[in-house]
Amino acid sequence: MKKRGMRRTLVGQVVSNTMDKTVVVRVERLVQNPRYKKYVRRYSKFMAHDESNACNVGDRVQIIEHRPISKQKRWMVQETLSKPARV
């Protein structure tokens, strides 16, 4: 079996799961302001493929880079890291 190249992995939170087999994951990163040296939060949203429709809003997931699945999906859910505490 051929070994794939180094694929990027990101950790984020599911913000939408209304589509079939697709979730929207928001990834947070810290960027330093060049003048004031303060760290500011920046967010990016990625559409990720979820084959089993197992992810719910609020879940913390790890996504991995993948070949293009559709026009906007280039990521796949690798694993669910944690689920929010439901009351």
Residue 13 falls inside a structural domain: no
Residue 3 falls inside a structural domain: no
pLDDT of residue 22: 96
pTM for the model stands at 0.86
pLDDT of residue 87: 61
Looking at the DSSP bridge assignments, the partners of residue 28 are 43
Looking at the DSSP bridge assignments, the partners of residue 31 are 40
The 10s digit of each residue's pLDDT in 5-53 is 789 999 999 999 999 999 999 999 999 999 999 999 999 999 999 999 9
pLDDT of residue 86: 72
Is 69 in contact with 19 (CB distance < 8 Å)?
Answer: no
Helix intervals (H) in 2-58: none
CA neighbor of 20 nearest in space, from 61, 59, 52: 52
CATH number for 46: 2.40.50.140
- DSSP label at 20? T
CA neighbor of 49 nearest in space, from 26, 28, 78: 78
Residue 2 falls inside a structural domain: no
Domain of 33, in residue numbers: 19-81
